[in-house]
């Protein structure tokens, strides 16, 4: 694998921070630290996406960004690029139970916000962050590069990249996703479990332009979500047992369109074409700690959750905001005190959100008629009680 380095080719370089992983979370922490004025080395394994134009097919992976995440992207100076390239605001969020009468619609107006969030393609968020990174002199980028060895020496983390470049810095940040190399290299263990569920994700073309509402129907096999994208486009996320997902994934377009028609309400409008399709097995994982000697992990490297409520990357951005808060006045970026404060700030929120998603996942899978009745009563209560609706909407919007 060839290393393409920008601005820096020295075999041994000193930095204030090394970030491994330039996905949405890693790119955002690198940019935030670089904007403060710290010298950052950013190591990313994959080619970096560029901003899409009107002909670029929609990325199959999209995220529902909360107002708090959007405010953070605004601070970084990348939100207006994202917003004006292509994105879909949603002001309403309808959730209903396929096995009963429970049906609730959350509204941005209930909590005094203009939107509950925006649906944006992951590659667009990443491309906008990397565009800003390239214009930030304090960040050295090593892309299509992988770390091969790590050790800490005195007050420095030492990282070898592609077996040739040696980087050193007081702090190593692992933002390299669910299968994090950094997590394993620094000796952080994790607890994990599989849900026996996969998310089938489809980019579809719709007969009507999309409205400002997300739709989520809970079935005993998992939720089915219909998320608006710009113009006549939408993202379908259909959770089901892995075998069922694989079976449907192999269907020709016509047969898959028939399946969608049978499952999704007619009021969503006709789906006229499937543009791209894929599936992702769902796994829950939580690192037993977020910090090690001269190292910290965040985003999916530290926790993965069931994506049914679209909170994953939002939690990653909240990690970034908290870490910046802990580091900004620190003389020694890798000092245990600052890193442990970060872990105290973030662990409970990540765990509560993860456990809340499990409650939804298992609560809607039950076949027990008493629990189904209680569940529908619960949804009806939330629908009828404005304080409860506000509580849920506030949580989804990132207010804690």
Ligand X SMILES: Cc1cc2nc3c(=O)[nH]c(=O)nc-3n(C[C@H](O)[C@H](O)[C@H](O)COP(=O)(O)OP(=O)(O)OC[C@H]3O[C@@H](n4cnc5c(N)ncnc54)[C@H](O)[C@@H]3O)c2cc1C
Q: Which is nearer to ligand X, 372 or 397 (CB)?
A: 397
Interaction between residue 25 and ligand X (CB under 6 A): yes
**Binding residue for ligand X, selected from 43, 128, 292, 321, defined by CB under 6 A:** 43
| Residues in contact with ligand X, shown as a per-residue x/- string from 231 to 260 under the rule CB under 6 A | ------x-----------------------
User: Which residue, 146 or 221, is less far from ligand X as judged by CB?
Assistant: 146
Of 113, 68, 78, 75, give the one whose Cα is nearest residue 92.
Answer: 113
Residue nearer to ligand X on the CB measure, 85 or 353: 353
By beta-carbon proximity to ligand X, the closer residue of 24 and 383 is 24
Distance (Å, rounded) from C-alpha 181 to C-alpha 146?
A: 9
- Is 10 exposed, middle or buried, given 0-12, 13-18 or 19+ CB atoms closer than 10 A? exposed
CB-based burial label for 142 (10 Å; 0-12, 13-18, 19+): buried
Determine the Cα–Cα distance for residues 393 and 387; give it in Å rounded to an integer: 10
Q: Tokens standing for 178?
A: 């669910």
| Interactions with ligand X, residue window 273-312 (CB under 6 A) | 280, 299-300, 307, 310-312
Per-residue interface string for the shown chain with ligand X, residues 181-200, x marking contact by CB under 6 A: x-----------------x-
Should residue 174 be labelled a site residue for ligand X when binding is judged by CB under 6 A? no
Residue 111 near residue 68, CB atoms below 8 Å: no
Q: Which of 102, 316, 334, 398 binds ligand X (CB under 6 A)?
A: 316
- Cβ atoms of 390 and 110 within 8 Å: the answer is yes
Q: Which residue is nearest to ligand X (CB)?
A: 23
201 sits near ligand X (criterion: CB under 6 A): yes
Q: Terminal CA-to-CA distance of the chain, rounded, Å?
A: 43
Residues that bind ligand X in the complex, under the rule CB under 6 A: 20-26, 43-46, 63-64, 122, 146-147, 175-177, 181, 199, 201, 237, 280, 299-300, 307, 310-314, 316
């Amino acid at each position: 694998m060839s290393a393409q380095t920008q601005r820096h080719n020295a075999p041994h370089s000193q930095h204030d921070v090394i970030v491994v992983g330039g996905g949405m979370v890693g790119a955002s922490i690198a940019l935030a630290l670089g904007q403060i004025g710290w010298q950052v080395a950013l190591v990313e394994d994959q080619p970096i996406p560029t901003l899409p134009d009107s002909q670029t097919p929609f990325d199959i992976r999209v995220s529902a960004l909360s107002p708090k995440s959007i405010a953070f992207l605004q601070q970084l100076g990348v939100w207006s690029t994202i917003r004006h390239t292509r994105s879909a605001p949603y002001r309403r969020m309808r959730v209903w139970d396929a096995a009963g009468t429970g049906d609730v619609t959350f509204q941005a107006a209930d909590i005094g916000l203009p939107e509950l969030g925006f649906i944006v393609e992951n590659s667009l968020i990443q491309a906008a962050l990397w565009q800003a990174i390239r214009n930030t002199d304090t960040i050295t980028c090593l892309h299509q590069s992988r770390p091969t060895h790590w050790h800490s020496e005195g007050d420095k983390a030492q990282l070898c990249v592609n077996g040739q470049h040696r980087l050193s810095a007081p702090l190593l940040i692992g933002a390299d996703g669910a299968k994090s190399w950094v997590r394993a290299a620094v000796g952080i263990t994790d607890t994990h479990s599989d849900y026996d569920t996969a998310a089938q994700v489809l980019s579809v073309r719709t007969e009507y332009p999309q409205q400002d509402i997300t739709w989520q129907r809970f079935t005993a096999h998992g939720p089915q979500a219909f998320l608006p994208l710009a113009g006549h486009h939408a993202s379908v996320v259909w959770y089901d047992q892995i075998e069922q997902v694989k079976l449907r994934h192999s269907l020709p377009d016509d047969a898959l369109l028939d399946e969608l028609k049978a499952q999704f309400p007619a009021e969503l409008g006709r789906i006229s074409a499937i543009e791209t399709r894929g599936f992702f097995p769902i796994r829950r994982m939580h690192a037993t700690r977020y910090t090690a000697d001269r190292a910290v992990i965040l985003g999916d490297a530290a926790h993965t959750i069931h994506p049914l409520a679209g909170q994953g990357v939002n939690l990653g951005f909240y990690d970034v905001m908290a870490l910046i808060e802990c580091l900004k006045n620190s003389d020694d970026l890798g000092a245990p005190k600052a890193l442990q404060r970060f872990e105290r700030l973030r662990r409970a929120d990540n765990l509560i959100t993860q456990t809340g998603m499990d409650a939804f996942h298992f609560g809607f899978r039950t076949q027990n008629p008493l629990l189904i009745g209680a569940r529908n009563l619960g949804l009806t209560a939330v629908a009828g009680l404005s304080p409860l609706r506000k509580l849920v909407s506030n949580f989804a919007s990132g207010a804690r």
